[in-house]
Chain A
Amino acid sequence: MGTTLNRKMAAVGLAAAMAVLPLAGCGSNDKDNGAGNASSAAPNASASASAAPSTSADASGEAAPAKLTGDFEIQYFVGGYGDKWWKKVIADFKAANPDLNVIESGGPKINEQNKPRWIGGNPPDFVYIDGAGLNDRQMVEDGQVEDLTEWFKTAKNVDGTLIKDILAQQPQQYDGKIYNIPLVLNSWGIFWDKALFKEKGWTEPTDYDSFIATADTIKAAGVTPFIHTGKYPYYIQDAFLFPAIVSANNDDYSILQDMADSKVDAFKSPAVMDGLNKIVELRDKGFIDKASIQINHTDSQMSFLQHKDAFIPNGLWLPNEMSKDIPSGFDFGFIPSVTQKAGGKVVANTSTASVAIASKAKNKEAAKAFLSFIFSEAQASQWAELSGAPSNIKGDISSSSAPNFVKDAAKFLTDPNTVVIPMITFNADVEKVMWDATDALSIGKITPDEWVKRVTDAAAKVSK
């Protein structure tokens, strides 16, 4: 009986094994494909690609605005700004170029999904750099995005205007070279509730002295003046520390660009120390809500909306982000910076997302044509309309039916007396050390000197 049972079992087992083994094989095949998907997907693409570069190389002699043909793939992340604009602009672009096969790779997870293709050297042609997993500086360092320096000098949009002339915020320069062009224009700054200030008779701040004076009054009235997002220290850095540094540097923002390039001496500048000391002043006067250190942006914003705190450093997206939780009667007041001297220029630190062309793009002609297409006034005003954020084309903000604070912001951003900081992306290592140090500074764990020491060490290590 034992043997028959065994035999049966063996048969069953074998059958199972036969069913399973191929599956296991499949698994391993899949794995190889996963990494090599790029290469297996590549053939049909690269077949056309291998043909394309040669033609595009010839065509780049710019004989005539030749018809765009072939495949053209756009990768766009879908986040806070949604995908309405992308759908619209791609449809418009398709209509303008009927012979071009435009492929959309969009979605909230697209950066992850397309990662194997970037690694495998088969990236999409055009990329919108936004969301987790994409960092423009890193992409430049990895040589994944096309050098646009030359193109940008003379590039005209579809209306025939030079693109560089109509950008509100200029592209970041990496050792003097340009790789990506900012598409969105958003500004950091300090928010308060105008209604509350009116009711309590508090003065709205216009510079550092009035900010400190108001904060004193607010504290005396039993409200905490200032809350920030300790879990993500870039809120206080971008909206408070960086403008403070620029103001202290005689409104010269090149110091931030040097910091972004991890130049050690930039961090040792007295302007940096001045900015840090302003944080220390807020801390030592008890203006910073103690809860700040451990909370995330939602918590800090809720606290602010509930009038537990009077000021919050944030970005222009704040009212949109919290739209469901804004108490009635709440009226956002906004100023890009409070750290300038009385009578000094306001410093607007911008926040952006940019677009770039892959260095291994197969259809660079189409990608450049697409750039010219989207950096036009028509598409820019659509961006403001469909994404709810100002686009990086000058002058379209005030014309849109935007809420008050956006118009306030627009007033600041277009004012010749405002210093608008261009797009800046720090080295990720230096940035993390800076975040940790800023947090540590804000709770009195370290001194400004130690902040500088930590960050210069990190910068020195990176620029080695």
Chain B
Amino acid sequence: MKTSGTAKWQRGLFIASFTIPTLAFFCVFTIYPVIKALYYSLFDWSGMSDHMDFIGLQNFKDMLHDPIVWQALGNDYFLVAGKIVGIMLLATFFAVALTRFGFRMSGFFRSIYFIPNVISVVVIGVLWNFIYNPQIGFLNAFLSLFTKEPVAITWLGFTSHTIWMLLPPSIWAGIGFYMILLIAAIQNVPDSLYEAAELEGANQWHQFCHITLPLVWEQMKVSIINIMMTTLNGSFVIVWIMTEGGPDNTTQVMGSYLYQMAFRQYHFGFGAAIGVLILVTSLITTVALQRLLHRETIEMS
């Protein structure tokens, strides 16, 4: 009895020695800033001044009446939807192509598709700015090959819906990682299943629908949720590098508007309130997607 008590105590100590430091770090670097942001969102504060005015929920009320917040929210969800569809379709296609069709160059293509992931988003933004440049850009130069008059489209300067143009770079930058993730998942599927299906006369499409897809669904779900979260929290970088939310706020996302308000227009409290909005929308969307994507887990034995 006594010995088992010690063992239990030791076990508890063992677990605690790993969890407590983690918890401490988590509190200091995650919980504390979140609470701090919540706190600041209740103030009218320029971000520079040594005094702050408590205004309760006024920042949130202002947010409801700020059309740019709604535009930013819409743009964010547009990017989420576009990236999920674009990245998942292409990543799945490439992953299947590089594993199930077993051609010789697959290693080479795997590396090629992964390269954008190694490049910093800042570089990607600058690169695509050059592609979209109306005067010296690749895209107009390419299109001009097929027309009499040189094409001079301002790809990042439409009067509305300019956000569409940020989709290709975002998708292009995201494919590689999720492709690798899915390749790993597909390679975990036992070959015997495919062999059996082959014997039964199932074609590649059937094999994909009935073997690959169900067995990698967990990874796809994780990928989708991850794309959603990184977009809501991180679309700021590419927007800021490429357009700074312009022209006329058509490419504004929540992150860029937060930065704009907090550091360019000196409304730190309002910026913090947008931060809270990002947090809340991320949480809600995560839960919603979890529900939406829920399927019976299929074990491979």
Residues of A at the B interface (CB closer than 8 Å) are 3, 6-7, 9-10, 13-14, 16-17, 20-21, 24, 27-28, 31, 115, 118-121, 133, 135, 138-139, 141-144, 230-231, 290-291, 293-295, 299, 303, 308, 360, 428-429, 432, 436-437, 439-440, 443-445
Shortest CB–CB separation between residue A13 and chain B, in angstroms? Answer: 3
Closest partner residue, chain B, to A431 (CB atom): B265
* Beta-carbon contact of A443 and B265 below 8 Å: no
Check A20/B157 contact, CB under 8 A, given A115-B48, A138-B46, A428-B266: no
Expressed in whole angstroms, the Cα–Cα distance for A391 and B226 within the complex equals 54
Closest partner residue, chain B, to A7 (CB atom): B10
- Cβ of B198 under 8 Å from chain A: no
CB-CB < 8 A to A21: which residues of B? Answer: 20-21, 24
Known contacts A24-B25, A142-B50, A231-B247, then 6 further A-B pairs from the complex at CB < 8 Å, ordered by chain A residue: A3-B7, A17-B20, A118-B50, A119-B50, A293-B157, A429-B267
* Beta-carbon contact of B263 and A133 below 8 Å: yes
Expressed in whole angstroms, the Cα–Cα distance for A62 and B17 within the complex equals 66
Expressed in whole angstroms, the Cα–Cα distance for A3 and B9 within the complex equals 12
Expressed in whole angstroms, the Cα–Cα distance for A314 and B133 within the complex equals 21
* Beta-carbon contact of A135 and B244 below 8 Å: no
- Cβ of B13 under 8 Å from chain A: yes
Residues of chain B from 213 to 247 with CB closer than 8 A to chain A in the complex: 243-244, 246-247
Complex partner residue of B49 from A142, A299, A428, CB under 8 angstroms: A142
Shortest CB–CB separation between residue A156 and chain B, in angstroms? Answer: 32
CB-CB < 8 A to B13: which residues of A? Answer: 10, 13-14
Expressed in whole angstroms, the Cα–Cα distance for A464 and B255 within the complex equals 27
CB-CB < 8 A to B244: which residues of A? Answer: 231
* Beta-carbon contact of A24 and B248 below 8 Å: no
* Beta-carbon contact of A13 and B17 below 8 Å: yes
Check A294/B247 contact, CB under 8 A, given A6-B14, A14-B17, A432-B265: yes
Shortest CB–CB separation between residue B43 and chain A, in angstroms? Answer: 12
* Beta-carbon contact of A439 and B134 below 8 Å: no
Expressed in whole angstroms, the Cα–Cα distance for A9 and B11 within the complex equals 10
Expressed in whole angstroms, the Cα–Cα distance for A16 and B24 within the complex equals 14
* Beta-carbon contact of B135 and A303 below 8 Å: yes
- Cβ of B152 under 8 Å from chain A: yes
CB-CB < 8 A to B7: which residues of A? Answer: 3, 6
* Beta-carbon contact of B135 and A291 below 8 Å: yes
Shortest CB–CB separation between residue A356 and chain B, in angstroms? Answer: 13
Expressed in whole angstroms, the Cα–Cα distance for A230 and B266 within the complex equals 23
- Cβ of B103 under 8 Å from chain A: no
* Beta-carbon contact of A436 and B248 below 8 Å: yes
Expressed in whole angstroms, the Cα–Cα distance for A144 and B135 within the complex equals 45
Complex partner residue of A6 from B11, B51, B134, B249, CB under 8 angstroms: B11
CB-CB < 8 A to B17: which residues of A? Answer: 10, 13-14, 16-17
Shortest CB–CB separation between residue B125 and chain A, in angstroms? Answer: 12
Interface of chain A, main secondary structure: helix
Shortest CB–CB separation between residue A64 and chain B, in angstroms? Answer: 34
* Beta-carbon contact of A439 and B247 below 8 Å: yes
Interface of chain B, main secondary structure: loop
Closest partner residue, chain B, to A38 (CB atom): B50
Shortest CB–CB separation between residue B134 and chain A, in angstroms? Answer: 4
- 18 A–B contact pairs at CB < 8 A? A3-B10, A6-B7, A6-B11, A13-B18, A17-B16, A24-B24, A27-B25, A28-B28, A118-B50, A119-B48, A133-B263, A138-B266, A291-B135, A291-B157, A294-B132, A432-B265, A443-B159, A443-B247
Check A142/B46 contact, CB under 8 A, given A13-B17, A21-B20: yes
Check A144/B154 contact, CB under 8 A, given A6-B14, A13-B17, A17-B20: no
Q: Is the interface on chain B under 10, 10 to 19, 20 to 34, or 35 or more residues?
A: 35 or more
**5 closest cross-chain pairs (CB), A and B:** A13-B17, A293-B157, A142-B49, A294-B157, A294-B156
* Beta-carbon contact of B248 and A440 below 8 Å: yes
CB-CB < 8 A to B260: which residues of A? Answer: 432
Expressed in whole angstroms, the Cα–Cα distance for A299 and B133 within the complex equals 9
Closest partner residue, chain B, to A115 (CB atom): B48
Closest partner residue, chain A, to B162 (CB atom): A294
* Beta-carbon contact of A436 and B21 below 8 Å: no
CB-CB < 8 A to A437: which residues of B? Answer: 248
Mask for B1-32, Cβ within 8 A of A = 1, else 0? Answer: 00000010011011011101100110011001
Shortest CB–CB separation between residue A158 and chain B, in angstroms? Answer: 32
Complex partner residue of A428 from B29, B160, B249, B264, CB under 8 angstroms: B264
Complex partner residue of B10 from A10, A139, A294, A443, CB under 8 angstroms: A10
CB-CB < 8 A to B135: which residues of A? Answer: 291, 299, 303, 308
Expressed in whole angstroms, the Cα–Cα distance for A276 and B7 within the complex equals 81
CB-CB < 8 A to B70: which residues of A? Answer: none
* Beta-carbon contact of B266 and A24 below 8 Å: no
Expressed in whole angstroms, the Cα–Cα distance for A3 and B14 within the complex equals 11
Shortest CB–CB separation between residue B7 and chain A, in angstroms? Answer: 6
Closest partner residue, chain A, to B263 (CB atom): A133
* Beta-carbon contact of B49 and A24 below 8 Å: no
Shortest CB–CB separation between residue B115 and chain A, in angstroms? Answer: 26
* Beta-carbon contact of B28 and A31 below 8 Å: yes
CB-CB < 8 A to A291: which residues of B? Answer: 133-135, 152, 154, 157
CB-CB < 8 A to B266: which residues of A? Answer: 135, 138, 428
CB-CB < 8 A to B48: which residues of A? Answer: 115, 118-119, 138-139, 142, 144
Expressed in whole angstroms, the Cα–Cα distance for A295 and B137 within the complex equals 11
Expressed in whole angstroms, the Cα–Cα distance for A293 and B49 within the complex equals 35
* Beta-carbon contact of B28 and A6 below 8 Å: no
CB-CB < 8 A to B160: which residues of A? Answer: 445
Expressed in whole angstroms, the Cα–Cα distance for A291 and B154 within the complex equals 6
Closest partner residue, chain B, to A3 (CB atom): B7
Expressed in whole angstroms, the Cα–Cα distance for A141 and B46 within the complex equals 9
Expressed in whole angstroms, the Cα–Cα distance for A10 and B263 within the complex equals 47
Expressed in whole angstroms, the Cα–Cα distance for A432 and B256 within the complex equals 14
Expressed in whole angstroms, the Cα–Cα distance for A290 and B50 within the complex equals 45
